[in-house]
Chains A and B, each alone.
Chain A
Amino acid sequence: MIHTIFGRLDLSSLSLWRAIQDPTVSELVAAGAATAVLLGALVTVSLLTWFRLWGPLWRDWLTSVDHKRIGIMYCALALIMLARGVIEGVLMRTQQAFGLHGGFLTPDHFSQLFSTHGTIMIFFVAMPFIAGVINYVMPLQIGARDMAFPVMNQISLGLTATGAALVMISLVLGKFATGGWANYPPYTGSDFQPGPGPDYWIWSIVLAGIGTTLSGINFAVTLYKERAPGMTFLRMPIFCWTVICTSIIMIFALPPLTVAALMLAADRYLDFHFFTNDLGGNMMNYVNLFWLFGHPEVYLLVIPAYGIFSEVISTFSGKRIYGYMSMVYATMSIAVLSFCVWLHHFFTMGQSANINAAFGIASMAIAVPTGIKVYNWMATIFRGRVRMTVPMIYATGFFYLFVIGGLSGVMLANPVISYQVHNTLFLVAHFHNVIIPGVLFGLLAGYHYWFPKAFGFRLNEGWGRAAAYLWIAGFSFTFLPLYWLGLHGMPRRSATFSDPAFQPTLWLALFGAVLILAALTCLAVQLWVSIRDRDSLTVPLGDPWDGRSLEWSIPSPPPEYNFAMQPQVAARDDFAEAKTKSRAYTEPEEYEDIEMPNNTAIGMIICVCATLFGLALVFWMWWLAALSFLAIVLSITLPTFLTETTHVIPAAKIAAEHRAWLDKVKDASAVDRLEETQESNLGRALLERPTRIEAAE
């Protein structure tokens, strides 16, 4: 009876209980993490109750289908998960620093740490952060009112949150997988890991992956069908081009992951033999399928970061992007090439040298379009009106460090070298070297750049600078030494080591990790300080950086309907041109009613049901799995019977809001770029050198 209800969930699944039974350091650390999750949840719930925020939270956020709010929620999710991921990273660095013949964590616990760290950082930090920025920015840049499918957008968010929730729950109930972020069988098959760990991985990845595929469809259709009149493809900001490429990858590269994970699930649950050792299974096909996803995935992450840097660099250099067309071609070719190189992740699996050579050459080819981009960015800065604001500090760090990461990538694309350093810390150094300065710096730059758009006030500059410098230094100290360690043969994913020569370098890496922790703290303090001082940082007029694309042509924060009237786009960098030709800030002859989608609870319902569904499968509670699956099906089907799904915002209301804002813009004094980060910047930019800002085309 108890087994029917609770499946294989029992007391020993509770990490707190395990720590009471067996109070070793490793178990205590795990119990501490579980306590932190529980306390965090408790504190959040009580704060929300105390300040009576449940209502607003539900009405304004959780049930909202506004792409801007959904974008912000994605970013919030990513930042929370980033905190956990960084703490795990630092914990691993600490273990390894003390790991000469020992350390304080058990190997099993260490394996869990790198598995959750990798899974979280890729799927629940980088991906949601990117989805968040795209959600927020892309519709504004193309002059759209919302995504093409707003409700589906909410469902995507719900499914991403489901995956993140499952990983968080695994701290309290049961244990996460120990098979790394790629979760290779047969080690993760039921013969070797009968427990719930790999199942947590499978269901969090599959459910979140479905959400990502739907996001990709949504982004692509929005870009194809919702552009404002005059916004031709070749007038779109580079960021939007990178979103096209990322959606291509979301649509076509997530399926291999889904296939691989579901096949693994079939092996584990239904006694299939896709990847088992015996009876004709072929575990090498898992590796193949996983990297068919895995390599495009890293470009899914970095391409939008390229887009963010393009926007940031062109804005803070006061110039249009250099080599627009070559940027477009380079981005597109990277996206397509990213589907042709997956084998470089398993050069050592045993296929013939010819195959290795073919994929090695294809991999090196990616350096060409990437190089083009780097030169374009540098040419954009050249003779620009450059301001070293926080996003530009990240961009500078990106230039130096990302190029190092890219070069070590070209080295790894050579099968001969790969054979030598495969599975060593050299690889760990390489991918952190592209992911942190590339993806994470890009996202943090975007966070500073668009934050004033989203919330109507700038982020504190001083703390932001401190965080940026600490990230750059912290990254360099943590990861550059790992190249050396890897070249000298220290394997990755190992809790301990036996060669005392590695000791000093690992201490250096730990020092770097502490700097990263400090950087994270600065980011938190900055957010706190900025919210506290928001009155002196306010930029309601909407254009604090002398922006160039449409999102800067509207108030900050933008109204629900984004644009009071549909923009008519006449040029690339349309807002920059509009400002020089004095067609910015004009009042339309006539305002029109705007139809907007209604709030809905579907996304939240699916999120809750899918989390229950995942948990039920992990712990074999079949009745709950069936029930929650049914609930998901019903919550998708039943709302299709509703026909009233939109509401109309009357033209009079829009006119009043828009005119009030226009009046404020007219009254405000425009500030020049020297005052950009000062209190006098209310978001109206002074035209500095109108003669030099030529229109594109």
Chain B
Amino acid sequence: MSIPLHIRINENSYNLQVEEDETLISLLRDRLHLTGVKEGCGNGECGACAVIADGQPVRSCIILAAEMEGKSITTIEGLTETDENGNVSLSPIQKSFIEEGAVQCGFCTPGFIIAAEALFMRNSDPGDEAVKEALSGHLCRCTGYKSIFKAIDKTVKNRYKT
């Protein structure tokens, strides 16, 4: 049975019909082709599929699309800004990830960046503990995490300065 769903994704409104058992990741990736949302496990264990729903980080692989009625979703694709000339600017956290070498294979990266962004929405000056908490359950097999922590620290410091 399909269910009507009104949802905002990266600032665009959609009126969709979804299946009862359709996961949010499947809606985003398979139907809307937002493939920046990554599937590492499909089971809530790795964090690669994280998106922001009304300011909260959620794992799109273990949440049903139908539960998102009326919500506003941000995926990794929604973090950049494009001006009227088509110039793309990265968000501060995306920039820091590049500068600090926090990106290796990049498969976990959208999830980590989303987690950090969601944290900044709640807390503009998070301490080490809050950062650890926000990243818990996110797995990266490439970096050893140090550079990821550095990238987040740097973003916090830059924000604080400006």
Q: Do A and B come from one complex?
A: no
